[in-house]
């Protein structure tokens, strides 16, 4: 019974332990040719339906005595191998979902995109070979790594990660600047990409240091075959003053350089916004009034992380020193979505089109950005962790979601969530939704009690006999902190009732 009660929790934990190996030895070792690695990768990227669809009609694990896949698992060299048989059995009872025909293509700023998935302007799209590989694997477009009139001097190292408890990767910091290729080299990359991949979308990200440079760069990118120009007004860690987020925080400079860019091109222009500001609408409006076609958001968030409390040095550690850098990864997604919502809901930006980024790893993350008004999404940190191969589950997961919900095209979900987000004074405040405790699933850990007593309203007590929680209804305010912290999924939202007057 317990295995059924906690199946989803066990599945997540088992899948989280996988190293997601390149050319995974577990798959090579499987005597039944099951796509072990691909199934686990799909589960990791929230594409459970896609994982189930990859299972053979008759799962061989029950009859397999070799356990060759687990013996080959590289995780076993660290501690215990991934419980591959348990993972496959755990999803084998799920119903397969038919992948119906859905249209993932979308028009963005007047440019046809085969799907909404783009590489964002970063190291993941910084030369011909890299982008060509990504295009071959199914990525629709690239915002090429920002091109300038100068080649920056970079430091080593320039990346580090933030961890929490047993989670190896919460967020990511970088102190990397714009492209370290020359202007001439970058122009050749773009020309070759457009020649060999004419249906893919090339977004040329540029950064000038004055009006003339913005105009010149826009002209050169247009001549090189770019489809869209993206103005990088948001890099948080440039060594040169008056560029990057220094521009994005100043609406007058945003307007000035957007106008300068417009002088050099007839192409759509995206203004890439900095999150290192309170109200993103202000510079976004300035950009649109100055000739931009759309807004790209968000760039990375200024950050400091991983102080060593023995040496007091920080990371990335460059000869004992570091600098403020850009924070990215899944942890910034809620912040990115807040900015996207604010701009999508702004009357003065009603004609802007939005390219969303910030913490996107899965098809579900992507769908959230689309539901708040974006027409495409840009991804970097997930690719840096797992490779271009994530595109398979981005596409497959999105198709299965759309078809299962009765949608025929991805355009149908753009902006669907906007009416559901309202000002705080419009929320229902005359009722309470009490928590509901599943005593069969409850393991008696007391986490709900601790959180409620020390961080809530002292509305839970522990039964001395059963060691399980009891709700004190007259103290409960329905905040559902207990639902949030329960590690066994034994507390859920319950009945909503009117408040007693």
Annotated catalytic sites, by residue? 235
* Cis peptide bond prior to 298, omega within 30° of 0: yes
CA angle 166, 172, 178 (to 5 degrees): 165
Cα–Cα distance measured from residue 280 to residue 303, given in angstroms and rounded to the nearest whole number: 18
- Look at the block and give the residue holding tokens 């307007």: 255
Closest CA to 270 of 109, 153, 125, 473: 109
Cis-peptide, bond into residue 241, ω within 30° of zero: no
| Token code pair at residue 244 | 């990057």
Structure tokens at 109: 């700023």
Taking CA atoms, 440 is separated from 4, 185, 256, 307, 361, in Å, by 12, 64, 64, 44, 34
Q: Which residues are within 8 A (CB) of 252 and not within 5 positions of it... i.e. 6 or more apart?
A: 286
Q: Is 242 left (phi over 0), alpha (psi -120 to 50) or beta?
A: left
Cβ neighbours, 10 Å, residue 463: 11
User: In sequence order, which residues have a C-beta less than 8 Å from that of residue 173 and are 6 or more positions away?
Assistant: 159, 160, 161, 162, 303, 305, 315, 316, 325, 326, 327, 328
Contact 309, 287 (CB under 8 A): no
* 8 Å CB contact between 267 and 228: yes
Give the helix/strand (H/E) hosting 433. Answer: strand 431-437
Q: Cβ contacts of residue 15 below 8 Å, gap of 6+? A: 40, 43, 44, 87
DSSP labels, 364-380: HHHHHHHHTTEEEEEE-
> Cβ(204)–Cβ(190) under 8 Å?
yes
Please give the Cα distance from 491 to 436 (Å, whole number): 6
- For residue 462, list its beta bridge partners: 469
User: Based on C-alpha coordinates, what's the Rg of the chain?
Assistant: 25
Q: Which of 185, 212, 210, 190 is nearest to 200 (CA)?
A: 190
Parallel, antiparallel or unpaired: strands 269-272 and 294-297: parallel
The DSSP letter of residue 124 is G
Beta bridge mates, 103 = 409
Contacts of 50 by beta carbon, 8 Å cutoff, 6+ apart:
42, 393, 396, 397, 400
- 344: its two tokens: 């999508």
């Amino acid at each position: 019974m317990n295995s059924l009660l906690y199946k989803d929790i066990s599945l997540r934990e088992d899948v989280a332990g996988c190293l997601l190996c390149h050319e995974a030895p577990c798959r090579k070792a499987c005597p039944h040719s099951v796509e072990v690695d691909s199934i686990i990768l799909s589960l990791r990227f929230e594409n459970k339906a896609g994982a189930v669809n990859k299972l053979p009609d008759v799962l061989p694990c029950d009859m397999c005595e070799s356990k060759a896949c687990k013996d080959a698992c590289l995780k076993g060299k660290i501690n215990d191998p991934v419980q591959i048989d348990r993972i496959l059995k755990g999803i084998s009872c799920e119903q397969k979902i038919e992948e119906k025909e859905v249209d993932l293509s979308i028009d963005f700023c007047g440019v046809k995109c085969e799907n909404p998935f783009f590489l964002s302007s970063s190291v993941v799209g910084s030369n011909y070979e890299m982008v060509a590989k990504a295009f071959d694997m199914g990525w629709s477009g690239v915002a090429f790594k920002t091109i300038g009139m100068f080649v920056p001097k970079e430091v080593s190292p320039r990346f580090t990660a933030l961890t929490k408890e047993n989670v190896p990767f919460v967020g990511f910091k970088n102190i990397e600047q714009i492209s370290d290729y020359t202007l001439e080299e970058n122009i050749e990359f773009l020309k070759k990409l457009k020649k060999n991949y004419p249906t893919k979308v090339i977004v040329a990200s540029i950064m000038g240091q004055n009006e003339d440079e913005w105009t010149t760069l826009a002209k050169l990118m247009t001549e090189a075959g770019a489809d869209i120009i993206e103005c990088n007004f948001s890099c948080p860690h440039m060594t040169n003053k008056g560029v990057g987020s220094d521009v994005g925080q100043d609406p007058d400079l945003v307007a000035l350089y957007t106008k300068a860019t417009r002088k050099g091109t007839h192409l759509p222009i995206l203004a890439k916004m900095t999150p290192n500001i309170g109200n993103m609408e202000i510079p976004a409006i300035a950009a649109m009034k100055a000739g931009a076609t759309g807004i790209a958001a968000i760039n990375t968030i200024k950050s400091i992380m991983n102080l060593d409390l023995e040496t007091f040095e920080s990371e990335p550690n460059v000869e004992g020193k570091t600098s403020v850098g850009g924070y990215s990864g899944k942890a910034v997604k809620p912040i990115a979505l807040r900015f996207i919502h604010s701009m999508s809901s702004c009357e003065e930006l009603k004609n802007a089109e939005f390219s969303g980024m910030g913490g996107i790893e899965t098809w579900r993350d992507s769908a959230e950005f689309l539901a708040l008004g974006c027409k495409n999404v840009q991804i970097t940190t997930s690719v840096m962790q797992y490779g271009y191969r994530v595109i398979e589950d981005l596409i497959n997961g999105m198709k299965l979601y759309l078809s299962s919900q009765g949608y025929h095209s991805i355009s149908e979900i753009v902006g669907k969530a906007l009416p559901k987000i309202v000002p705080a004074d419009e929320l229902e405040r005359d009722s309470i939704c009490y928590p509901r405790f599943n005593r069969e699933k409850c393991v008696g850990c007391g986490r709900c009690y601790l959180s409620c007593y020390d961080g809530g309203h002292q509305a839970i007590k522990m039964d001395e006999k059963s060691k399980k929680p009891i709700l004190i209804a007259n103290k409960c305010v329905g905040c559902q902190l207990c639902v949030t912290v329960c590690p066994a999924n034994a507390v859920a939202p319950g009945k909503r009732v009117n408040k007693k007057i």
